[in-house]
Each structure stands twice: as C-alpha cells, then as structure tokens.
Amino acid sequence: MITLDLTLPDTRYPIHIGHGLLDQAELILPHLPIPQVAIITNEVVAPLYLERLTQQLQNHGVHCIPVILPDGEAHKNWQTLNLIFDALLGANAERKTTLIALGGGVIGDMTGFAAACYQRGAPFIQIPTTLLAQVDSSVGGKTAINHPLGKNMVGAFYQPKLVLADMDLLATLPERELSAGIAEVIKYGLLGDADFLAWLEANMDKLRARDPEALQYAVRRSCEMKAAIVGQDEKEQGVRALLNLGHTFGHAIEAGLGYGQWLHGEAVGAGMVLAAAASQALGWLTQHDVERAVALIAAAGLPVRSPDFGIDEWMRHMGHDKKVESGVIRFVLLKQLGQAVIQPGLPTAVLDTLFSGPHIDPTISH
C-alpha cells in the first residue's frame, strides 16, 4: 500500500492506494467519530461491494445505514440528493455519522455535498470504485450536483477525512468506464508532467489491459499531482484551475447532449483535443504536438471529435463554466505539452476554427 497525504491549511488527510483495501476496516475505523456510518452507493455498485464493506464494518461494531441511489450522471441532481437526506433523517443519523461514498465520481460528488449540508457538516470518506474517481474526483474536496444549465454548478468545497483507492475494485469496471478514467490520467501529463505523458504513450496498452503495476503507478502519479496542486490552492483561486484542462469544452458537450449521453471522461477527452487545437491556433503547440495529444487520447479509446452544436450553442454552454470571470470565459490551454496556462477569452477567428474544423463531427454518437 502507498499512502499520500493531502495537506491544507485547516486539515490533512491520507490517500491510501493499494490492493485489498476494502477488506481492511482498520484503515477506516480511526476516522469514525462514532460507530455509525451511512454507505452511499448506487444500484450498480451495491450488488458488487456494499455487503462486503458493510460486513467488514459490522464486524467491528459499526452500525451501517445503506443508501442506494439510481446510477448515472442524469441523476446527479436535487431530487437524488434529497434521497440521501431522507435516508439520514429516517435513520436518525447524527452530525457525527460518517457518510461513506462507495462508487464513482457521481456518488463521490453527491455524498460529499450531502455531508457538507447535513446538519451543517458531517464527516465523509471516499472509497472510489472507478479509475476516474480514484485519480481525480475523490481527491481535493470538490462536491456538487448538476443543473440543467451547467455541470457541477451547485456545490461546496468540502474535504473528506480519508480516500481509500482499492485497485482491485477496477476489475469490475466496464471498458468504457476504464477509458473515461484514463482521460483524467492523460490530463495530468498534458497539464504538468511531460515525462508522465511520455510514460503514458509507452504504457497505454498496459493500462487498457489493467496491468496492476501500470494502473497503480498511474493512480499514484495522478494523485500526487492533484494533491500538490490542491495543497497550493484549495478553493480554485489560481493554479487549481489548471486541473480543468479539457473541462470547459467537455462540460459543454455533456450539457449540450444531455447528461449521461457521454461519460464525463469521454467529454473531457474530446475537450482536450479542442484545447490542443486552440493552443495550436494561438501559436503555442506545433502540429506534431497536437498529433501526439490526439493519438494518445484515441489510443485510450476516447472520442477525439466533438458534436457539432453550432458556435452559438457552444458559447451558451461554456458561458456557464465556473471559470468565467466578469463575463469572460477563461480557457485552460497548453503553452507546450506538459505546461498548461489560463487564457482569458479566445479570438473570434480561433473560435470559428474550433467549432467548424475537422475535430467537429455532427454524426458522432455513442
């Protein structure tokens, strides 16, 4: 097992990465203020892992409240969030009852937001079951639900007490979900580590084949980078915004198509292609750089072409991005491979090129 620490001005918590961690209740018990937890999961993950985790905790005298939600991004909303509160209140859960997120990014985001709100703040723990959640969304304390006009627009910064990334849980992950998680791994190489980017190019086949050592290294390096960035900028006032590489475009794709049509990582993959194209249009990346980025994203099994919404629709959806300041969309682009920057606005000519070029395909679908 590898343990990383995420250190912030007001808190510090461990990120455990390894095999068989779900069966090690001793990793969880020190983080429970009282012996009562609510395990928040969904209808896909519950049959796989809920009973196993519940039994581990019950063996140590912990009372477990199961909360099983519908699966998918389409359910990341107020109505589903309220199901968590209904279950907590129905079970007389206290302020010190720990909420455990057992699932992917949607479950992690919703559990964290519920914890931030319940009795004005209950502790929570992340046990991510997808690669995307292990490398990105479970770390750093961003919690939210979606709004029809924008993704993750209603939420809070609220840190977990523990992140438990059990690599064995990836064995049941569908192929498409695995690729979606690799999108966020690629993001880290593109935005801040050219050596890691080269490692990904050399090891993509191993990652997609679920080679244990390759997957664990990818999770570790991604978490190291995220922990370092979040440690500098918890509330995304500066450098943390770089972690949104591909996301301004990607969130627009998700909202434009309807949440759940594309997986988040798929939209981010296509969004990173658009970010690379914009960076080339500004004279920062060469054609070879763009081809490298696109080839890696394609090798991960991700879409490299975006839906054709028309420029007005693109701008409408991107206008709801959380990085908008004083009405200006702030894009995360690449000065070079391995170095991301914030770019306030883009020239009209660049936008026209982006949303009418070969990376736009009106027929693309999943």
Catalytic residues: 120, 142, 184, 226, 236, 240, 244, 247, 251, 264
- Smallest CA-to-CA distance from 128 within 140, 116, 136 is with 136
Closest C-alpha among 362, 176, 355, 363 to residue 273 = 355
Work out whether strand 124-128 and strand 98-103 pair parallel, antiparallel, or are unpaired.
Answer: parallel
Beta carbons of 135 and 218 less than 8 angstroms apart:
yes
Q: What angle do CA 353, 364, 251 make, to 5 degrees?
A: 65
How far apart (Å, rounded) are the C-alpha atoms in residues 196 and 136?
16
Whether residue 57 contacts residue 37, with contact meaning beta carbons closer than 8 Å, is answered with yes
Q: CA-to-CA distance for 15 and 165, rounded, in angstroms?
A: 7
Asked if residues 150 and 323 have their Cβ atoms less than 8 Å apart, the reply is no
Residues contacting residue 68 through CB under 8 Å, at least 6 positions apart: 41, 42, 43, 46, 50
Phi, psi at 283, each rounded to 5°: 85, 15
| Cβ partners under 8 Å of residue 339, min gap 6 | 191, 192, 194
The Cα–Cα gap between 254 and 247 comes to: 10
Nearest to 94 by CA among 32, 171, 142: 32
193 in Cβ contact with 147 (< 8 Å): no
3-state SS record for 317-349: HHCCCCCCECCECEEEEEEECCEEEEEECCCHH
